């Protein structure tokens, strides 16, 4: 404990010491942020523009777009500013806020993906009961529950992560990522955060099982559809959802379960980009832009 220090700020991953590479880092993240923000804001605008899209599925899509926009807005701007200014620091309280907000949005995003899988299950397997099960009152309660879950998850992770002193302030990542922060405490093992991680893993596994169960039932129902066109339509709706969710799950597990290392690697950064920045960009394309009704409203808005 002799090395225990009061941390006033953290040093994030330094992409390069060369100015032109720092500017390249800024430019790439700026393009990624602009594309993600544009895609998700389009989804929100389209649903708000057309009253015919005021249905549960689109209600969940809007909430997913808000969560995805929140994720990239929490972690990318600070990284871009640091690259542009040639810096790598983030204040202690800025790091706390980043961990809290990122955990909130990630948990809400994951919960919404679970809800949307169940929504598709009801729509495809029990279409006659869809309006009764997924009514507006139920959908509003679900979204409120998702938000409360995200807040609790964020509070638990933030409290657990910053509950014991740090002996270093160097974070080998482009934002305050929890797995990297857990390498910094003086004790070497954070019992409280370990408990939070176990609880998170249990909750995540439960959501994963619900999603898998929903898609298994969906695929069974789809295979019983006599029309080839009907089967293709159902598969084209569900398979992309399953692919993006699987990619998110695998890359996040690789980021959290990889053996700890004090040496920064670009592989760690690549895994983090895959599970933090790629889903918010792909989600609106997979879940929304391929939707016939949304494409129709987009064409109407374009004509205006």
State phi, psi for 163 to the nearest 5 degrees. -80, -20
**CA 117 to CA 111: how far, in whole Å?**
10
Q: Burial level of 130, CB count in 10 A (0-12/13-18/19+)?
A: middle
Express each pLDDT in 72-93 by its tens digit: 999 999 999 998 888 889 999 9
Express each pLDDT in 176-228 by its tens digit: 988 888 888 877 666 777 777 777 778 878 888 888 888 888 888 877 777 66
Sequence spans of domains, the chain: 9-303
* 263: pLDDT strictly greater than 60: no
Residue 250 pLDDT: 73
Q: How far is CA 286 from the centre of its chain?
A: 14
**Where does the pLDDT of residue 155 fall: very low under 50, low under 70, confident under 90, or very high at 90 and above?**
very high
Which of 180, 174, 162, 164 minimizes the C-alpha distance to 262?
Answer: 180
* 51: pLDDT strictly greater than 70: yes
Q: 9-303: which CATH topology? A: Rhopdopsin 7-helix transmembrane proteins (1.20.1070)
Residue 1 pLDDT: 41
**Where does the pLDDT of residue 37 fall: very low under 50, low under 70, confident under 90, or very high at 90 and above?**
very high
* 124: pLDDT strictly greater than 50: yes
Q: In this predicted model, which residue has the larger pLDDT, 227 or 134?
A: 134
* 163: pLDDT strictly greater than 70: yes
- Mean pLDDT of all residues in 97-101: 95
Which of 227, 36, 228, 236 minimizes the C-alpha distance to 120?
Answer: 236
**CA 53 to CA 57: how far, in whole Å?**
9
Alpha helices, DSSP H, located in 50-190: 56-85, 92-125, 130-133, 136-161, 178-181
Express each pLDDT in 235-253 by its tens digit: 666 676 777 777 777 777 7
Q: Percent of the chain beyond pLDDT 90?
A: 27
Residue 150 pLDDT: 93
CA atoms within 13 A on the CB side of 104: 20
């Amino acid at each position: 404990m002799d090395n225990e220090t009061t941390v006033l700020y953290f040093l994030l991953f330094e992409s390069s010491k060369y100015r032109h590479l720092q500017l390249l880092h800024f430019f790439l993240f700026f393009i990624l942020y602009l594309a993600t923000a544009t895609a998700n804001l389009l989804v929100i605008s389209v649903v708000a523009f057309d009253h015919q899209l005021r249905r549960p599925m689109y209600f969940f899509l809007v909430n997913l777009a808000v969560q995805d926009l929140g994720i990239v807005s929490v972690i990318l701007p600070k990284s871009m500013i640091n690259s542009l200014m040639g810096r790598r620091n983030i204040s202690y309280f800025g790091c706390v806020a980043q961990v809290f907000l990122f955990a909130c949005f990630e948990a809400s995003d994951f919960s919404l993906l679970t809800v949307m899988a169940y929504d598709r299950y009801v729509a495809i397997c029990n279409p006659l009961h869809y309006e009764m099960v997924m009514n507006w009152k139920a959908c509003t309660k679900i979204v409120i529950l998702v938000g409360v879950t995200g807040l609790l998850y964020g509070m638990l992770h933030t409290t657990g992560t910053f509950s014991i002193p740090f002996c270093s302030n160097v974070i080998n990542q482009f934002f305050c990522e929890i797995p990297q922060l857990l390498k910094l405490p003086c004790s070497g093992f954070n019992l409280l955060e370990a408990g939070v991680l176990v609880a998170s893993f249990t909750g995540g596994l439960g959501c994963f099982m619900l999603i898998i169960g929903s898609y298994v039932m969906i695929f069974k129902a789809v295979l019983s559809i006599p029309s080839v066109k009907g089967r293709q339509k159902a598969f084209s709706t569900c398979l992309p959802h399953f692919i993006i969710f699987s990619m998110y799950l695998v890359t996040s597990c690789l980021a959290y379960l990889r053996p700890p290392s004090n040496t920064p690697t670009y592989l760690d950064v690549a895994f983090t980009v895959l599970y933090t920045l790629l889903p918010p960009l792909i989600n609106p394309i997979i879940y929304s832009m391929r939707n016939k009704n949304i494409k129709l409203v987009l064409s109407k808005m374009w004509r205006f």
